[in-house]
Amino acid sequence: ENATEIKYILTAGSLDVHPTEKALVVHYEVEASILGEGGGHMLGERKEGQKIIRVKSLSPSTDVAALAQKVVEECKLIPPSRLPQVEQLLYYLQNRKSSPKKEKRTAKPRELTPFEGMELDEEASITRVDEYVELLYEGVPEKIRGSALILQLARNPDNLEELLHNEAALGALARVLREDWKQSVELATIIIYIFFCFSSFSQFHGVVSHYKIGALCMSVVEHELKRHDVWCEELRKKNKSAPENGSLRRDQDKALRKYQGLRAKQEQLLRVSLYLLLNLAEDTRTELKMRNKNIVSLLVKVLDRDDEELLVLVVSFLKKLSIFLENKNDMAEVDTIEQLAHLVPCEHEDLLNLTLRLLLNLSFDSGLRAKMVEVGLLPKLAGLLGDENNRQVVMRILYHISIDDRFKGMFVYTDCIPQLMQMLFECSEEEIEAELISICINLAANKRNAQLVCEGKGLKKLMKKALKTKDCLLMKMIRNISQHDGPTKPLFIDYVGDLAAEIRAEEEEEWVLECLGTLANLTIPDLDWELVLKEYNLVPYLKDRLKPGLAEDDLILEVVIMIGTVSMDDACAAMLAKSGIIPALIELLNAQQEDDEFVCQIVYVFYQMVFHQATRDVIIKDTQAPAYLIDLMHDKNTEIRKVCDNTLDIIAEYDEEWGRKIQSEKFRFHNNQWLEMVESRQADESETYLYENDNDRTDLFYSADGITPADGSVSPDFFSDLQAQNGDSHITG
């Protein structure tokens, strides 16, 4: 009660230019002191503030010195002594380019910029918030003014803490938004912008959630998208009815301009609303609530807009959501890929990068990869391989697409393979990018792609680089190329010796595996395998690797495949038979009898060897291979059965004794099948007769007389067995 006076002291601070506008920013400090009766200081408080002096009239022809003088005269915060500094800053603003060169930015949405209706001549003061709140209880224009003044304060993070404690202000803003957002897009945009300022800081998310602003923003976005659909439909009807000229045409042009204006304001509202939701989605529980309200579908609908900054925001949001399976599945159910395809390529660097990264996340799903190919993204992606900023992410997407055999052949219709080969040859010898070589390996598994790779001196360059660097992945690519029949396989004749020279115990097993696999693929007529095996002394190496435990299974399997390939040569097969390699194969067959791939390849070796007289005699007379083949002739694996049948047919043709055994086993097996079928049919009470017509009988078991097989191939013991049954006509195995 002893206070007699409140004294304010205003001190000017630093002076700077506004970062985005044609304006000067004056920083100042206000000190409020309460004086006692004797003039003594009782209490004081300091507060900092800033004033923006806009100089919109500033142009290249402006007299900067005269303008600086006018600014100093009208702004009491700038002392006359700072006139030279003001002039210097204005000169800088005059020469600052309005649209500076695009710099590489991080792939995230930009800070929201001011919009029409927010800029006021009056500078807001944190001490006058209650006055601004009073405006929120009046008409819409006053509400817009009051909320815009509060927004000026909220955009300064230093004011958020104080605004947070003003429950009356926040409550009034939330109420106005909830009740009046449909009346004014501008009002809704400003108030949501205020809460967006709070959402930019995790510690303030609680207040945004308290007023349920997130749920309200979801409703706003959904409503505005529906409004946009209505606008588009109305505009479509006007376009349909408007002639080329006349008053209706003018009405249509007017309607178009109106639509464009409404759309621009709406996109401001969508942008601030979605940005706020993106900030709140840091909490996965909040994100789940958004997902339950169909956030993915709403975002995808926005992808048809032209506003690049809005698109950056939407794609950022979708990218964040896409890391969860449920959201990814939601994206698969709507036309996400089709909408994203329109953005590839685009001139906006951040938008393109974000779109590609979103596509990368989605490309882990096989169905979405198929959709990418379907909408024509493959040639677009291939066209971006030359873009240094996006090449790595593009290659990762292409790698995922190249995994699927359905799409490997479609790379032929792009310029992807020539670019990949050029990049491969330009890579340093020390290291090749994993994404690059991975795509090349996958694409080489396609015959037409392999032909493109080998065009010119492609294969020669690949072999030279692989043999020099001993890069296993590069040799794996070459191995894939070598598997294709046609014009590419004969090209490998020049490199048989180089590859055979690498099959040594001293080399790394992984490297030998790829070289050996490449050789094993070379089923080339007239290739003298005997000479190759002798010159490079490969037989001891191959035989030693057949022993279980001396090498990894992958290498052992390639050795077996190699033996099958070289056994096509008569002299080579004989040389292998004399080396004792067949018993080693039988021992391996015993050890790997549960592995279908091993069994099939070993049986294939036997199949190759029975073609040749020398090896046929060894297999039939000196080994138990035929017995193993008989055991495998009814294997569950179709390929094994097929190879076994073909091999046994050859053995039966050349050896009478084994022929009888093979035929007897075939009959016994088929007879057992017949009995099982008869018993199962008899057990079925719904069937009165075993056969409804003669077509139910099979010639495999019966000939025309009902007993003897049609081809006469029956075991000689069958007739004696039949007679021993004393007239019983039941057939047994």
Using one digit for the tens of pLDDT, what is the confidence trace for 260-271? 888 999 999 999
The Cα–Cα gap between 371 and 343 comes to 15
For the record, the structure tokens of 567 come out as: 């056994």
Residue with tokens 């007379």: 621
- Using alpha carbons only, what angle is made at residue 573 by residues 570 and 574, rounded to the nearest 5 degrees? 90
Both 641 and 662 in one domain: the answer is yes
The residue-averaged pLDDT of 103-118 equals: 48
pLDDT tops 70 at residue 203: yes
Q: Is residue 393 part of a domain?
A: yes
d(CA 340, CA 304): 9
Q: In terms of domains, do 151 and 286 share one? A: yes
Q: Is residue 704 part of a domain?
A: no
Residue 239: the pLDDT is 74
Same domain, 354 and 213: no
Q: Distance (Å, rounded) from C-alpha 173 to C-alpha 517?
A: 73
Q: How many domains does the chain have?
A: 4
Note the pLDDT of residue 42: 53
Q: How far apart are CA 86 and CA 82, in angstroms?
A: 6
Say if CB 328 and CB 365 are below 8 A apart: yes
Same domain, 589 and 652: yes
pLDDT at 422 over 50: yes
Q: Is residue 682's pLDDT more than 70? A: no
When pLDDT is cut at 50, 70 and 90, the band that residue 39 belongs to is low
Name the nearest CA neighbour of 379 among 345, 350, 335: 345
Q: Which amino acid does the sequence have at 242?
A: A
Last residue of a domain, one of 355, 375, 403: 403
Q: Which pLDDT belongs to residue 98?
A: 47
pLDDT greater than 80 at residue 431:
no
The backbone torsions φ and ψ at residue 62, rounded to the nearest 5 degrees and listed phi first, read -70, 140
Same domain membership, residue 309 and residue 271: no
User: Does residue 283 share a domain with residue 337?
Assistant: no
- 370, 403, 436 — which closes off a domain? 403
Nearest by Cα to 569 from 527, 540, 537, 535: 527
In a domain, 495, yes or no: no
Highest-scoring range by mean pLDDT, 95-109, 331-345, 550-564, 664-678: 331-345
| Span 166-178, pLDDT tens digits | 999 999 999 999 9
- In terms of domains, do 638 and 667 share one? yes
Lowest mean pLDDT among 120-124, 367-371, 490-494, 702-706: 702-706
Q: What is the mean pLDDT of the chain?
A: 83
Task: Verify that 561 and 539 share a domain, yes or no.
Answer: yes
Q: For residue 114, is pLDDT > 70?
A: no
Other CB atoms within 10 Å distance of the CB of residue 28: 17
CA-CA-CA-CA dihedral for 38, 39, 44, 50, to nearest 10: 160
Which residues lie below 8 Å from residue 215, measured CB to CB, with a gap of 6+? Answer: 289, 293
Q: For residue 477, what are the contacts with CB-CB under 8 A and spacing of at least 6?
A: 437, 440, 441, 444, 462
Residues 283 and 146 placed together within one structural domain of the fold:
yes
Higher pLDDT, 111 or 382: 382
95, 112, 146 — which closes off a domain? 95
Per-residue H/E/C for 49-104: EEEEEECCCCCCCCCHHHHHHHHHHHCCCCCHHHHHHHHHHHHHHHHCCCCCCCCC
pLDDT number for residue 712: 40
Give a yes or no: residue 280 inside a domain: yes
Within a domain: 170: yes
Sequence-distant contacts of 461-469: CB under 8 A, at least 24 apart:
461/425, 462/424, 463/495, 463/498, 465/424, 465/425, 465/429, 467/498, 467/502, 468/429, 469/429
Q: Which of 356, 336, 337, 338 is nearest to 346 (CA)?
A: 356
- Can you give the CATH number for the domain in which 361 is found? 1.25.10.10
Where helices occur in 242-348 by DSSP H, the ranges are 247-280, 284-292, 295-302, 308-321, 325-333, 336-341
Same domain, 566 and 666: yes
Domain with 181, as residue range(s), is 128-237+258-292
* b/e code 559-592 from CB counts within 10 Å (16+ = b): bbbbbbbbbbbeebbbbbbeeebbebbbebbeeb
pLDDT, residue 314, reads 96
Under 8 Å between Cβ of 547 and 506: no
R_g over Cα of the chain: 41
Burial class (CB in 10 A: 0-12, 13-18, 19+), 533: buried
Q: How far apart are CA 79 and CA 52, in angstroms?
A: 16
327 falls in which pLDDT band (50, 70, 90)? very high
Q: Give percent of the chain with pLDDT exceeding 70.
A: 82
Residue 210 structure tokens? 């308290």
Confidence of residue 32 (pLDDT cuts 50, 70, 90): low
Task: Quote the pLDDT of residue 342.
Answer: 94
pLDDT in tens, 253-297: 788 888 888 899 999 999 999 999 999 999 999 999 999 999 999
Residue 688 lies in a domain: no
Which residues, 6 or more positions from 484, have their beta carbon under 8 angstroms from its beta carbon? 447, 450, 451
Together in a domain, 146 and 266: yes
> Is 219 found in the same domain as 86?
no
For residue 701, tell me if it sits in a domain: no
Residue 474 lies in a domain: no
Q: What angle do CA 657, 659, 663 make, to 5 degrees?
A: 125
